[in-house]
Each structure stands twice: as C-alpha cells, then as structure tokens.
Structure 1
C-alpha cells in the first residue's frame, strides 16, 4: 500500500517562526531513508539540516530554494510503501527484544531536529503529529467559517512575535497591508507600516513561492540574479540572516531610545601584558587577544554597574536585572552579522574566556552555530577595529541595555608621564538604552572599562 505523506517545516525552537529554504539535498524520484537529510534551511540563528520523518520515494518538492516559509508550511511529499499505523497501536519491538510492558517508559528517541524523532529500532511513522497538524489546520479553517457566518470579524492573521512587535511599535494590525502567505502579516509588513513605505504590487505572495524568486528575477537562496544584457543593476532577495538582522535593527531603533558615549584609551600596558601572557608556558594554546581582555574588563565593570546588564520588559512593565553575564560577540560572516553568546562569561578566567570567544567566533564564520549559541545575550561587544575603523555608533541588540564597540588600535603621540610619547591608543564607543541607563552611569561604566585597559592592575579594586 502506497501512501503520500507531507513533510512540513517543523518548529525550530527559540521563538523562530520562519526560515529560508537554502538547498534541496534530494530530487523527485530519489529514495530516502528515515532521518536522511533532505534539505538545508536557514534561520537568523543558524543553518539547520532537515531530516526526513519518513522512508520512501520523494514525490514532489513544493517550495523553491530561496523562499522564506513559516513553520508548518508543506515542503515536500514522500510516497511511503507501508501500511498505516493506527493511532493507538504500539510499535512492534525489534526482533530479539521483549515488547514493552504496559506503563513502561517510552523508548529513547534519536537526537534529530525539533519536531521529529522516530522511535529507535522501530519503523513506526509519526502519524499522530502529522494528523494533529492536519486537524489543527482544518479546525482553524472551520473556525474562520463559523465566525464569518456569524458576522463576527475574523481579524488579521499574525504570529505572536509579530503581534508583540506591532504592540511595541504602536501599529494597528487591522490597518496593516499583508504580504505573507494566505493573508499573513509579517514582521516586514509591521516595520513598513511604521515607516509608511508603500508596498510594491508584487510584494504580496498568494502562495509560498514569492514572485521575487520566480525564474529570471532572482537566484536561489538569496543570491543575486543574472541581470538582462544592458541592465546596470543587480537585485538580491533579502533573506536569511540579513533579513532578520535588518528587522531586528529597525525594531531596536524604534523601541529603545539610543544614546552613546565614547572614550579613547592608552592601551599600551594591556598590549605589554598580553605579550607577557603569551610567553607563559601554562597559557600556551589559548588565543589571548585585546578582544579577550576587553571582554573580561566588561564583565568586571558590570559588577560595579549592573544597570547595563538589564532588560526593559515592556509588556510586564518591569526592569529585569540579570545576575549573570551572557556576553554577545558580534561576528561578521559570509551570511551576515551574527552574535554568538558566551554563557556565564563573568564566571570564566581569562584563558577560558579566550577559548570560548575563539570557538564561537570560528563556529559563526563556518556556519555551525546552533540556535542556543545565538540566543540569550545580556550585553554585546563588537570589534569594528578589525576593519580599520576607529569609532562608530553601534545599534543595540534588541532586548539588551548596552553594546560596546572597539575601534582600531593606533600608534600615535600621546601624553605619558608629563611627556609626549608614541603610544598604542584605542577608542571605545558605548551605545545604551536611555530608559535603563542614564548618561552618568554609562560614563562611569566606560571609564572603568578604560581604566582596566590603561592600568590592568586597577582590576584589583573590582574583585
């Protein structure tokens, strides 16, 4: 008996509601095994391999690479040569093993993508989950029909995170022009409503395949399309990390009142200290850099100035003060800007912190960070000095109270011991949420970070 099973985009966790289909690993007619990777999807968090919850033959690919799809969207269908399993049927025990006793613990599941997980040693398919999803979709449609017949408004289609964003920005969802699938209001629609930008006629998507990804208009997976002869412009679909980063930055700019301050510091003593530490045999193999020292200085200064390690909870009307430091480190990658997070950075010694920063930075650049690696930050550092830039005004990561930018280290004349000498100088730029941090507190925090870098021995007064 052949049945056609539909594979949908599962819940990827971490509050993610959509992802971009980057690449199909299989084609129509291919035979796939249970848990075999069939596609790669990209979220703001990471690249994720999508395993097949069924064994069979690929019947149809329903979404083109490069398309952004919400959770629950049908991605492909698989023809399965297997009798259907009843909802209340117990999976057969593998040959040579005893059947589970009534009330016994469920068999262990394999570690695969969220939303999937066949029983180890069993060929049973997750029919209960699939049928539940189908029932939910049918139930939702019936509910809309009942509301329409009763003359009651159905209301806009919008996911909870997008509804919260609209609430934070003061946007009336009933007046927002949608561009998502089947009338869904997206995050971009809300941000467009704030800026009053017009919606392009082809921005609406009547189905999962956006017009921007139709042949001849754009390349797959957000790559630039080939321009017609004589055309002197290139259009690249906004997707993946760049799309999510843009939305987050606009939301941050509209929800948090930004303020900034800066400080130029003589970091010659810190560079001399780093030279000594790198010669220490006990620290061999640890990548000690100026970024590591700045990160440590930030965690120490936060002990004295905890207001910069906090969150403004608009919905609850509360200020959330963190008793830990999850330090975000902004990393420029081929996919766009990512901010992996060093969990409990304040509890780490300098070598441990150096290793953690190096590992997360490398993972971000290679595309192997997990959603957990990119979530939960309480304050962020961005090193713009690696690009030869002296200073800048960074935008806050949404939900955080402060972000510190490091500029390039320059050798230049500087006042030292009542004389002018050639010293190594670094400019620090701090942006902060003025609802949580006033100017004086921000200045004192920045001064303490600078003091540690200019006089590493001053750290003794903070520990």
Structure 2
C-alpha cells in the first residue's frame, strides 16, 4: 500500500487556515480509523481532527503552534495498514459530516478491495464521547494548555479556579508570575541597570487565530458599514420582579433566567416587525437580504478572545428554551468547546457589557449584520416613578445599526419597543 497523506480539510464556513495546538500521535505510532490525532484552532473554534486513514505514522508535517493552510499536509501514513476505510474509493467523493464537519466515509457493507490486518476498533466520534474524554483527561482548554506549555508550567500541578476544577488562563499566568518572582526576587534590573518591580517587563504575545479574525472582522465592519448608535435608559424594575417570580415557578425552575434572556426574547419577537434590523447589505448582488428567521448571536468573552455563538431560529423558542439555548452556548464559549457551525450564520447580535459593571458602550456590528444591541448593567438609580423620585432598577440600551440598511426612524422605533417591554413586561403579550 502506498503512503497516504492527510491534508488539512476544509472545516467549513470558508475557513482557510488552522493553527496546530497539539498532536495526540507520534511518528511510528499506529493510528486507527477516526482516531483523534490533533487539536487545531481555527478563527472560530478549537476542533479535534479524526484520522481518515488507519496506518502507521510516517511523518508529521506541522509543528505545534504552526499555522497550516487548508489543503496543506498534516500527517503521512504508511505501511501495509495504510488504508482508508474498507473500500478503495476517492476520499473527496466520500466525505461525510462528523462532529468537526469532516471525517472518513461510512462503510456501505461492500466487499473490501483488500483486507488489512486487524486494527483497534475505532470509537465513534460523538459529542458525548468527547465530553467524557475531556472531563477525564483535559483539565483546561487548549489555548490555556498551550500557554502553560510555552512557559514550562505543569498543568497537572495547578489547582484550577474554574468550574469543576477547570484550569483557567489566570491560573497559569499566576504560576508564571510566581515563578518569575521566585527566580528573580522582588525586583528585576532593566537594561539601564535600574530596578523595577516584577510584572512590569514587556510581554510579546502571539496573535491567536481568534484574535486575528476578530481584528480583521472589526476593521472590515467599522470601515465598510456606516455605523450609527442610539442610546435609551429604561426602568427595568418590573422586569426584574417578573424574573424573580418566574424563577420560583415549577415550569421555570431549570431555566437560567436573567435580564439578558428576557431582552433576547423581546428582541427576537420585535425583529419580525422591524425586519431591516435583521438583514444584510449584499454589495456584490446589489440587494438587501431580509432574513425570514432570527439567528441570534450572543457575544461571549472567553480565554480565546471574543466569540459570538449563534442560536438558530431563536424567534420560535419560548422563554425557557431560549434561556437554555443561550446558557448552553455561553458555557461552551467560555469552555472553548464551540464548533465552527455554532459561530456562523448570525443575523442579529446582543452583547452584555453590564456583566463587567459598564453602563453603556458603542458596539461594533458583526460583519454582515445590520444590528447589534448592547445591554448595560442593571443599577439602582434615583428615577421618576409615579410622580415621585424613587430608587429604581435601570439599564441603558445601546443599538448600533448599519445606516445603509436601517433608517433612523426604524432603529428608534425598534429600540423604543424593546425598552417599552422591559419597562412593562406585560406588553410581551403583544409580541409573543
């Protein structure tokens, strides 16, 4: 059997390159069909690559940390066991979707063209299997593990401060800083000979794929779509009281209800009326695309950078299901376990800057979207209420929109509508 080279596949959504985070194989090792051989980081997600070949690893073509273009060589398999499934077929013609969007073809039951020596049965690539594998082996996300490896920090020696002992970036950084402190004392000497405190040294940080993609997208959006932003501060005391009542209801006991999920519900319903905000400017086709469904993006701050996972067809989800869907993608985003498909296809986005104690901001549109809503922190302020001044829960909303697609009147009416329902949640009956 001739040698077979596994080339980096197209992982979907037009991604052109990936960075090799770590290899799970070595030269001379036998690999089974669909065995996970590497973790790579695209501009959107960390992905585990299953092998489309069974055989012995002859050569690994890319080093950890190296960026490989789609179609570039990753691994060469050789020996008599270098076979691709039980059929002699074209890999291009037999690709089928798997967890990462690419995998070896499924057997059709036909007689094999050549029988190989028995190999270890391949485990099916399923979401459940990967979750078990991660919980048993991986105590941190790949980018955090790479940071530790680059600085010689032993992950297994760290007590993770994240959920279920997950080692976070800050845990690794503390270990790095502590080691520098123990090795160099309380101060370091710069080139001029003067002393300065530890931690003030210059740091050169490699630009990750996610950071590079985010920067490119933000520049493209800021200098392509003419942004306009409107602000509205509203009294959300009634909404906060409603959320507390719903949390104690048996039907809502498992739902992660908060002001963000309530705002998301209102937004997805109102976008059915204000469709210009759920649209896209298509320069090439010379048309505006008004989407029939709301694929809601939710900005998530993660160790890998800013991610915007998407809940598809959010306009059809009742509040408990919408809350569950948002909670799931936010948790996956922070854990670094989102797939490329979950980070694509958004038509309108929400970002909650209030979780950082910020009152308001001017959000930049994700490329291809005509609207994004920023939610500020809920804060008690003196507010006019029933002809008196009282302490009320207030929040500032900031709507950025593409002025090529959305007129100020429509944007203002939409923002006012969101604010009106959050002030008086009884109005939700109009939209739901």
Using structure 1 for the length normalisation, give the TM-score: 0.70
**Count of residues in Structure 1 that have an aligned counterpart in Structure 2:** 356
SS in 2 for 1:255: coil
Q: Hey, what does 1:4 align to over in structure 2?
A: 3
Q: Hey, what does 2:56 align to over in structure 1?
A: 57
1:119 deviates by 4.2
1:352 deviates by 1.2
1:237 deviates by 1.4
Matched, 1:442 2:389: no
CA contact (8 A) 2:310 2:345 kept: yes
Change in CA separation of 1:90 and 1:342 when aligned onto 2, cut-off 3 Å: closer
Change in CA separation of 1:264 and 1:218 when aligned onto 2, cut-off 3 Å: same
CA contact (8 A) 1:218 1:235 kept: no
Measure the CA separation in 2 of the matches of 1:416 and 1:124. 80
Q: Hey, what does 1:187 align to over in structure 2?
A: none
SS in 2 for 1:72: coil
Change in CA separation of 1:287 and 1:89 when aligned onto 2, cut-off 3 Å: closer
CA contact (8 A) 2:33 2:104 kept: no
Matched, 1:385 2:351: no
Matched, 1:256 2:225: yes
Query: 1:23-79: CA deviations, max 9, x gaps?
Result: 111122222222211110111222111122222222222211122221001112222
1:334 deviates by 1.1
Deviates more, 1:393-402 or 1:230-239: 230-239
CA contact (8 A) 1:404 1:431 kept: yes
Q: 2:377 aligns with which of 389, 408, 414?
A: 408
Q: Hey, what does 2:241 align to over in structure 1?
A: 272
* Unaligned residue ranges in structure 2 (runs of 5+): 115-145, 154-168, 191-200
1:115 deviates by 4.4
Q: 2:400 aligns with which of 414, 431, 450?
A: 431
Change in CA separation of 1:443 and 1:25 when aligned onto 2, cut-off 3 Å: same
Measure the CA separation in 1 of the matches of 2:346 and 2:412. 22
* Unaligned residue ranges in structure 1 (runs of 5+): 92-105, 126-212
Q: Hey, what does 2:20 align to over in structure 1?
A: 21
Measure the CA separation in 1 of the matches of 2:227 and 2:99. 41
CA contact (8 A) 1:408 1:426 kept: yes
Query: 1:163-215: CA deviations, max 9, x gaps?
Result: xxxxxxxxxxxxxxxxxxxxxxxxxxxxxxxxxxxxxxxxxxxxxxxxxx9xx
SS in 1 for 2:422: helix
1:434 deviates by 0.6
Matched, 1:116 2:115: no
Measure the CA separation in 1 of the matches of 2:189 and 2:61. 34
Q: Hey, what does 2:39 align to over in structure 1?
A: 40
